[in-house]
Chain A
């Protein structure tokens, strides 16, 4: 008879997982629908999502190699820049749209129960889909340029997962705060504007003088971009591992997890009241 309650417990865990799985389906359906809707009716469809970073890249490339002549002496500067721009745009767009992810679906929240987290995750998943397609485009340019891709590129998925954790974590923060404080959307725009220049996207980190380059690398976004360049393009990329002293190197890598967990906490605490406040 001792096995009885235990068996029940195991059974209920399985049932719970089945329940959770249902919500995975919901994330899938919502994000695919959003993806479809985003490009519905436009002639070029998804290509617009590729065109945006490519345009920005083209402008920056001309300005920085032809006018300012900064990137000229860096090998594969174009790819450097392209990687940075694609990664940055994913971060900026996903977090900016995540701000309103709860409020925009207020109608749904007031009428039906499902874990509210689904909305943030599915929003991030939609952007991730676009990002992965853009990333394939970057890969294509990498191969066309004849960059020797080493086995270290196999580590890229780890970086991408770290990136996703960071983006979703920030999304938790922003979306739950926005329900109460509608200033968040403007504040975040300004933060992004500053962060664009505080992240080594346009300029190589090697050009930044000593204490500042280390400081910049404490940001997980900078670390992710530098690591991606290292893994994909050139081992010259100044990564956190190379630049930061050992006692600080864990900071950018663990920050996404800390942000995710904290954001999750805050989100869950306020989620119960979303239906009333939204």
Chain B
């Protein structure tokens, strides 16, 4: 006997506000190191222990979706988003856990499933419609609507293989929106088609919202999550990181992505130190510190940032001019200072081996920035520069607001409360 799988997809009888309930769902993929796709190799390896790569696609995932709610599912590639959707659709069977679905569920994730290029548009509507769960009669009733929505009246008797990709998507979308389901699963549907078509998708989305349909949307488009979803769940390596309002989860996701990039290193060319002709002092690095003096590469807008330039004083020089410029990643020069003009005595710093500059509540908006730093004898003529960093590692600032541009300024729309764009 195969092991009994304690999974059930239940359809509760009583009315409930919950459309989808996922309790402790796990899914493991066993990826054989050497797959036995022939009997010979299976027979030869019969007595060897088969080695599997265990891949935990989902680990103990639980959440609920209320009726009429738009839930965004976000996460990086390989985080288990699509596996989760496939389990909900019934394509995969989970290894553990329980799924309760309350309402008619659309069984598909993608557009144009089951289309056959050798058939005409008309024939594909019937074939695709039946695969999506309609009866032939139902397709007949909706046929005119589908064709009208797709704007393919002239081409409907042409074979699908002769359609352009845009026409293909239009037909698929027109068909899928005519499959009436209360709970819809969508995997990256917003990323296809031209802008005109995307507008149609968005209109349809808003119609779904008005009609009180439940939508589970897997997407990379954080903007779409912010705009359409009430709540979102963030997956990371098959686990639920958080379930919260779309805003909060989207922020968390962006922040996580930044942190990951930080770990991998942002810009390999950056941080190259150019020694001057007169290299008595050599810059050894530029780092960014938060208020706790911990090095970081990502900061919230408005958070204090300390830039630390470390150097090696090779010739026991007792005085130098430290200069620092702040640049946006596009190369725009934002801010620059040096110790001579500011009449700062550098003799203390020179003993420590680094100098700090603290940016207090910097008005930087979301974006990527870098530093230029130099140490010179006095001015910055060719001969006097000891050491020079043309472009430090990038650091990022993230803001929660809708404002654009490089600056995060306090502002208010005439008469209303002042607000800060962070």
Contact = CB atoms under 8 A, between A and B. Distances in A.
B22 interface: no
Interface string B289-330: 000000000000000000000000000000000000000000
A275 B127 contact: no
A69 interface: no
A183 B37 CA distance: 8
Given A40-B118, A273-B93, A112 B113 contact: yes
Interface in A175-212: 180-183, 187
A36 B124 CA distance: 13
A37 B115 CA distance: 13
Interface string B125-139: 011001111011000
Size bracket, chain A contacts: 20 to 34
A180 B35 CA distance: 9
Interface string A250-278: 00000000000000000001001101100
A113 interface: yes
Interface string B99-128: 000000001111001101011000100110
B131 A112 contact: yes
B40 interface: yes
A185 B194 CA distance: 44
B91 A182 contact: no
Contact of B135 (A22, A113, A272): A22
A272 B39 contact: no
Interface stretch (A55-63, A103-111, A146-154): A103-111
B123 A111 contact: no
A26 interface: yes
B107 to A, nearest CB: 4
A22 B92 CA distance: 21
Contacts of A29: 126-127, 130-131, 136
Most chain B beta carbons < 10 A, residue from A21, A25, A109: A25
Given A33-B123, A37-B116, A269-B2, A276 B92 contact: yes
Contacts of A183: 38-40
Contacts of A187: 39
A219 to B, nearest CB: 24
B113 A111 contact: yes
Contacts of B126: 29
A22 B132 CA distance: 10
Given A112-B108, A113-B89, A113-B91, A26 B130 contact: yes
Contact of A181 (B42, B91, B93, B118): B42
Contacts of B133: 22, 114
Nearest to A105: B114
Contacts of A3: none
Contacts of B132: 112
B116 A33 contact: yes
Contact of B131 (A8, A40, A114): A114
A37 B118 contact: yes
B29 interface: yes
Contacts of B2: 269
Contacts of B211: none
B272 interface: no
B90 interface: yes
Given A33-B127, A40-B118, A111 B136 contact: no
B345 to A, nearest CB: 69
Contacts of B108: 111-113
B268 interface: no
A113 B5 CA distance: 19
Nearest to A11: B13
B25 to A, nearest CB: 15
The 7 A-B residue pairs whose C-beta atoms are closest, nearest first, are A113-B90, A29-B130, A272-B93, A113-B107, A112-B108, A183-B39, A111-B113
Interface of B: 2, 5, 13, 29, 36-40, 42, 86, 89-93, 107-110, 113-114, 116, 118-119, 123, 126-127, 130-133, 135-136
26 contacts: A8-B13, A22-B135, A25-B130, A26-B130, A29-B130, A30-B127, A30-B130, A30-B131, A33-B127, A36-B123, A37-B118, A40-B118, A108-B131, A111-B110, A111-B113, A112-B107, A112-B108, A112-B109, A112-B113, A112-B114, A114-B133, A181-B39, A182-B37, A183-B38, A275-B86, A276-B29
